[in-house]
Each structure stands twice: as structure tokens, then as C-alpha cells.
Amino acid sequence: MNIKKIGKVLLVTISIHVGLILAVIILYLSFLGYWSIKYPDPICNNTNKIFDEYSPQSQEYKTELSRLLKKTENLETDYWFDRYIDTNHISIFIQNDHICAKGYIVVSKDKLKNDGGFMTHLMAVKGSSYGGPLLGLKFEFGTKKEKSDIFLIAVEDIID
């Protein structure tokens, strides 16, 4: 083989690899763009004085959040995982046309009906490396005995 042929073969081989790398980068950036449009970060302005005056763990806050979640259960609502708090609680961002708040949510294995093991895993790893929108959330609201707690009873997935 002469040197010109080797040079051409080498050039074609390198060009193919560079093209493939660029295609993968473009595909990845397109995917990120799609997800950021479909699931934008939770940006909202709270207008509820109770959410400003009390902490998400307080009874006043949880009572108001429960009331609003019940009232707006038919509206499209976005939920974002905020953080793991302890073995029975997580914090989530909740947003719809009437709610802009953080929720202090109880995760109880006894009440969690449909999560495919996802929440069990999230709680086992203490939420590390998780963030993003939560899909298919359903809640059960506490009785007077349970002091307005909000229980997570179902979650489909997290977009992470």
C-alpha cells in the first residue's frame, strides 16, 4: 500500500469517528432541550400568605396545602422532587395555577400502593442523585388524628 492510500483511509476513518461523536453530542443536546421544554424547572411566585408565614412542617401550612391540593385535584399540577428529609418524609415542589409551594410529604410503606419500588429505592439511598419532575403522584390526606399530614400513596416515576 502506498502512503497516499493509507492517508486517505486514515482520513476517512477519522472523519467517520468525528462525525459519529458529533451526532451523539447533537442527539444528547436535543434530548436535554426536549426535557427542559417538556419539564421546565419549577419557577413560580407564591401569593399565599400562609406559605410565607409558616414552615412546610407546620400544621397551618400542611392544612392549607391539603385544602388547595383537594380543591385543585383536577388541574394539571407539576411536582418536583426537592430533597429527602428523613426515613419517612420527602420535600417536593408543587405548582399549578393556584399553588406555588413546597410540600412536606409522608412516605409510608403501608400507604404507598403503586410505585414499582421506586420510592423504596429513593428512600433507601436517601434521595441522593435524584432530582427533577415526579410523575403520577397521588396523595391521601390525614385525619385529625394524623394532623393534616399529606401521605404519598402513588408515584409513577421521576425524570432524572
Q: What string of DSSP letters covers the chain? A: --HHHHHHHHHHHHHHHHHHHHHHHHHHHHHHHHHHHHS---------HHHHHS-TTSHHHHHHHHHHHHHTTTS--EEEEEEEEETTEEEEEEESSS-EEEEEEEE-TTT--B-TTHHHHHHHTTTTT--EEEES-EEEE--GGGTT-EEEEE--EE--
Instruction: Say if CB 62 and CB 56 are below 8 A apart.
Output: yes
84-120 residue pLDDT tens = 899 889 899 999 988 999 999 998 877 777 666 777 7
pLDDT in tens, 21-31: 888 888 877 76
Give 35 or 129, the one with higher predicted confidence: 129
Q: Strand 150-154 vs strand 100-107: parallel, antiparallel, or unpaired?
A: parallel
35-70 pLDDT per residue, tens: 566 655 557 788 899 999 999 999 999 999 999 999
Task: State yes or no: pLDDT of 154 exceeds 70.
Answer: yes
Q: Is the pLDDT of residue 137 over 90?
A: no
Sign for the CA dihedral angle at 45, 51, 57, 59 comes to: negative
Whether 123 and 136 have beta carbons less than 8 Å apart is answered as no
Domain regions of the chain by residue span = 1-38, 49-158
